[in-house]
Structure 1
Amino acid sequence: MPPPKKASAPAPKPPRSTAKKQSSKAGGVTMDVCLRVDSPKIREMEKQAAHRRGFKWALGLIVVICFLALLKITVQESILKNPQFELRDVAVQTSGPLTVEKIVRATLLTRGENLLTINMRALHTRLRQLAPVKDVAIERDFDAGLMTLRITQRQPVAWLDCPKLGMVAGRSEVGYLLDHEAVPFPCDVVTESLTALPVIRYSALAQKTAGVAIQDLQLTSALKLLHELEERFEQGQPQVRSLDIQTPYSMVATFADKSVITFGVDDLDVQLARLDRIRLEARQRRWEIGTLNLLARQNVPITFRQPPDLAGLQPESPVPVTLSKSTSVR
């Protein structure tokens, strides 16, 4: 009995070709078959399809442009041109030598400007560029159309006098003020309160930049001394009028009672404690101090405008003692 024949495997299906041409073998010969059919009718149909696609793209683009234009008009009419968001007034809350008019001019704001379009960062930067300004806070009130500026100014503690650098104390525009952080800034208007400030004279000052702290040991020491002397003035001591930084190691203070006292740059606490003792003694004995040099650690030189009363301070004259011949002293 003949063996059963094996079922032949189904022939694999040829892969679907997406190329324009396909290669096939017939009798060992390779043939290229072009599967794309081209005819005037097909070209006309493809052209019409391309026109339809182009029309759809153009229509979509027109719709997008119309939507953006409508959105722009809506924004302009409802927000940008809305009188509710117009700037009507600027309020400045500050205290210091910088005038309100100059602060408002520095903002570059105009009445009627839209509050939403104001660049707050640029406005903050313009205000901080003013040398007397230490900090800025800005608030917008859309209902009232109000811009509120809260300006923290540097509080001056003294005038800085250095003619070499064009700084003349007590004069506007060329006068410079100092705060407790050694930051100089120009004075626009000299008021009565500013006139009463003490003067720090520093002819050897190398440079100054408005709004930037001066890194100088002598000036820092002078500001510290000025602060200590102002506290003592509140306790009843004479008020300091000027501090003259004469050398790298000494400075001379002139007071309202016409006393002139020399301080060293270092060890201010020790010198001030010595000054307190001398002032107390002078007050009790009604001495009028002329000059005092606290640089000396011992035998402090001091002069008086009037002859001082030294009663009780001079040693008593020794009483002579007569000894007889018979008296013996052991």
Structure 2
Amino acid sequence: MKSRNMASPKKASAPAKKPPRSAAKRQSRWAGGVTMDVCLRVDSPKIREMEKQAAQRRGFKWALGLIIIICFLALLKITVQESILKNPQFELRDVAVQTSGPLTVEKIVRATLLTRGENLLSINMRALHTRLRQLPPVKDVSIQRDFDAGLMTLRITQRQPVAWLDCPKLGMIPCRPEVGYLLDHEAVPFPCDVVTESTVGLPVIRYADLSQKTAGTAIQDLQLTAALRLLKELELRFEQGQPQVRSIEIQTPYSMVASFADKSVITFGVDDLDLQLARLDRVRIEARLRQWEIGTLNLLARQNVPITFRKAPDLAGLQPQSSPTVSVSKSTSVR
């Protein structure tokens, strides 16, 4: 009975059963991994010698390449100098100046700092343009190079003067070279080096209280701007037959006095020039019809405009017939 119930030795030594495959997969899925870097470089005197020789070969190649580049650049420089910079075909032979105005050609050429024989390709065009624009009378510059003829052509647009600026306080004396200053319509003053026939006959704007004297820079002044506008309008009327203006004096911040070739003196206000010029046109037309010789006229007044004559005016038809006869003085007023 006992031997029958005992387990056999073969069955007792049998290995334990393996866990299910799904369980093994779950364990490997959750198990963490470790990565290790292993350096397998082998160091020896022979290897170090081989690396040294390889570094020497690389250094020799770099040095050889650098020497070749330097030699190429030097050869290129010599080629450029001999074929272009020292080529007589590109030499500057003459400078032509096309301009019109008070600025002389000689002064323009001196301002360029160009020399005969200079290579046209080596000239700094931007610096040349800047030097010419720094001249106060110059308004615009155009430069052209002709390599075949060795010619540099300068087209200079000068500011066109419309009047002399008179301000003794700032040393501006009209019709005198070097100390005389001209004005254009943009209120830009510039010195006059040479007084010519075209500039000596220009009208004068007198402004004793002027505080700015910067040649080549527009003067930001309301009174001077009004005087230039008045001058422009009077010049247009001169072309239509009215007397020519000789000078405009800015006396106060609100008044200007214009003197004309017919010896008339007319006072204008700085504001409402259009209205004042319309009154002037009516007076000029009446004076021409009746042969009046105007002495003074004050257009600042809005209602009764004071006017004087150099000789007794003909007022026939202007007074009511019923009025008694009175003696007419040389001074009267009109609306």
Q: In the alignment, what sits opposite 2:133?
A: 128
Q: Find the partner of 1:86 among 88, 91, 94.
A: 91
Number of aligned positions between the proteins: 294
Which has the greater radius of gyration?
Answer: 2
Instruction: Name the residue aligned to 1:286.
Output: 291
Please give the alpha-carbon distance, in whole angstroms, between the structure 2 residues aligned to 1:56 and 1:16.
35
* Equivalent in the alignment of 1:205: 210
Q: In the superposition, relative to structure 1, how do residues 17 and 77 fare at CA in structure 2: closer, same or farther (>3 Å)?
A: farther
What does residue 299 of structure 1 align with?
304
The whole-number CA distance in structure 2 between the counterparts of 1:312 and 1:297 is: 24
State the alpha-carbon separation in 2 of the partners of residues 46 and 254 from structure 1.
Answer: 100
The amino acid that maps onto 2:193 is D
Residue equivalent to 1:157: 162
Q: CA deviation at 1:130?
A: 0.7
Q: Give the alignment partner of residue 218 of structure 1, picking from 214, 217, 223.
A: 223
Q: Pick from 248, 254, 267: which aligns with 1:249?
A: 254
**Aligned twin of 2:45:** 38
The separation in 1 between residues aligned to 2:317 and 2:86, in whole angstroms, is 88
- Write the distance in 2 (CA, Å) between the matches of 1:47 and 1:214: 77
C-alpha distance after superposition, 1:162-204 (max 9, x if no partner): 0101111111111111000111111111101101000000001
User: Which SS does the other structure have where 2:106 is aligned?
Assistant: helix
- Call closer, same or farther: CA 1:16–1:67 in 2, change over 3 Å: farther
Deviations 1:79-124 (A, max 9, x none): 1111111111111111111111111111111111111111111111
For 1:48 and 1:157, locate their aligned partners in 2 and report how far apart those are by CA, in whole Å.
85
Deviates more, 1:148-157 or 1:194-203: 148-157
* Residue from 70, 77, 84 that aligns with 1:72: 77
C-alpha separation between the residues in 2 aligned to 1:226 and 1:49? Answer: 88
Distance 2:111 2:264 in 1: 44
In the alignment, is residue 184 of structure 1 matched against residue 192 of structure 2?
no
Q: In the alignment, which of 264, 271, 279 is matched to residue 269 of structure 2?
A: 264
CA RMSD of aligned residues (A): 2.3
- Correspondence for 1:175: 180
* Pairs within 5 Å for 1:41-120: 47-120=52-125
Q: What does the per-residue CA deviation read over 1:235-277, in whole Å, with 9 as the maximum and x for residues that have no partner?
A: 0000000000000110100000100011111111111111111
Report the counterpart of residue 321 of structure 2 in structure 1.
316
Structure 2: 5+ residue stretches without partners: 1-13, 16-35, 325-335
Question: 1:132-182 deviations in whole A, cap 9, x for unaligned?
Answer: 111111111111111111111110000010010111111111111100011
Kindly state the Cα deviation for residue 311 of structure 1 after the two structures are TM-superposed. 2.2
Amino acid at match of 2:281: D
What is the CA distance between 1:306 and its match in structure 2?
1.4
Q: Which residue of 2 aligns with 1:6?
A: none
TM-score with structure 1 setting the length: 0.83
User: In the superposition, relative to structure 1, how do residues 203 and 44 fare at CA in structure 2: closer, same or farther (>3 Å)?
Assistant: same
d(CA) in 2 for partners of 1:273, 1:262? 14
Closer/same/farther in 2, CA of residues 304 and 19 from structure 1, 3 Å limit = farther
C-alpha deviation, 1:223, in angstroms: 0.5
Query: What fraction of aligned residue pairs are identical, expressed as a percent?
Result: 84
Q: TM-score, normalised by structure 2?
A: 0.82
1 CA distance for matches of 2:37 and 2:75? 50
- Which amino acid in the other structure matches residue 194 of structure 1? T
Partner of 2:330: none
1:315: how far off?
Answer: 2.6
